[in-house]
């Protein structure tokens, strides 16, 4: 079973909270709120998505590297490549 499936409900709750934060940005823009308020809302979304990424990333590392039951070298290499690709994409 995938580690994201084990934490499905917890992750979905976080995603729904982030969706609400995006909707707050949309409402603020529609209401022509001040720049400061909009920037605070954007910063909150950025922090929430970074936190979500960190949680999924941590679980990935623990599942595929730390807690893996005798993973083959190719499985570890594959998991490492996936992780590297995601991190590269994320930090762009």
Residue range 37-83, pLDDT digits in tens: 999 999 999 999 999 988 888 888 887 777 667 667 787 788 888 88
Contacts of 21 (CB under 8 A, 6+ apart): 41, 44, 45, 48
Q: At the topology level of CATH, where does 3-91 sit? A: Methane Monooxygenase Hydroxylase; Chain G, domain 1 (1.20.58)
Q: Count of CB atoms within 10 A of residue 41's CB?
A: 20
Domains of the chain, residue spans: 3-91
Residue range 25-37, pLDDT digits in tens: 999 999 999 999 9
> Closest Cα to residue 52, out of 92, 88, 2, 86?
86
The H or E element that residue 61 is part of is helix 35-61
Three-state DSSP state, 54: helix
pTM for the whole structure: 0.76
């Amino acid at each position: 079973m995938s580690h994201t499936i084990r934490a499905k409900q917890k992750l979905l709750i976080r995603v729904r909270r982030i969706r609400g934060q995006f909707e707050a940005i949309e409402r603020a823009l529609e209401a022509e709120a001040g720049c400061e308020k909009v920037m605070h809302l954007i910063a909150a979304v950025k922090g929430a998505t970074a936190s979500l990424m960190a949680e999924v990333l941590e679980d990935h590392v623990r599942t595929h590297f730390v807690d893996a039951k005798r993973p083959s070298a190719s499985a570890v290499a594959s998991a490492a490549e996936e992780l590297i690709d995601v991190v590269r994409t994320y930090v762009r």
